[in-house]
Amino acid sequence: MLRGDPVAALADLDRAVQLDPSYAPAYVNRSYVYNQLRQPEEALADAERAIQLDPRIPEAYFSRGVAYLQLGDREAAMADFRQALALFSKSGNFANQAILQQLLRQLGVD
């Protein structure tokens, strides 16, 4: 993937999904790119597919939460951010846990 070029990244991730449709991280990453491109419906679909394939990936919940925010569904977004936070905590990923806690505070959620 080319950093800073979401269109090229999307093409690479499309190929990754075609090569291995069961590889959840490819869907997570493509969901991130769709969010960056302000295509929340596509981001949501890919995040949901990643969660179906592996519900232990906190980044999938985070990306789905971002998509929900873009779609105006704050309640669903907060639920996903909380799930991502729980999974980051469980995995010991304290850096992402701290970032997500800060985001939740900024959004007015404890």
57 dihedral zone (left: phi>0; alpha: psi -120 to 50; beta): beta
Where do runs of H (alpha helix) occur along the chain?
6-19, 24-36, 40-53, 58-70, 74-91, 94-106
pLDDT for res 51: 99
Neighbouring CB atoms inside 10 A of 52's CB total: 11
Residue ranges of domains in the chain: 6-106
pLDDT for res 104: 79
DSSP label of 38: T
pTM over 0.85: yes
**Would you give the distance in Å from CA 48 to the centre of its chain?**
9
Q: Do the beta carbons of residue 43 and residue 67 sit within 8 Å? A: yes
Angle between helices 24-36 and 58-70 (to 10 degrees): 30
pLDDT for res 47: 99
pLDDT for res 31: 98
| CATH classification number, 6-106, choose in 1.25.40.10, 3.40.50.720, 2.40.40.20, 3.40.50.2300 | 1.25.40.10
Residue with tokens 């491109």: 37
pLDDT for res 48: 99
Per-residue pLDDT of the chain (110 residues; tens, 9 = 90+): 446 889 999 999 999 999 999 999 999 999 999 999 999 999 999 999 999 999 999 999 999 999 999 999 999 999 999 999 999 888 877 777 777 778 777 877 65
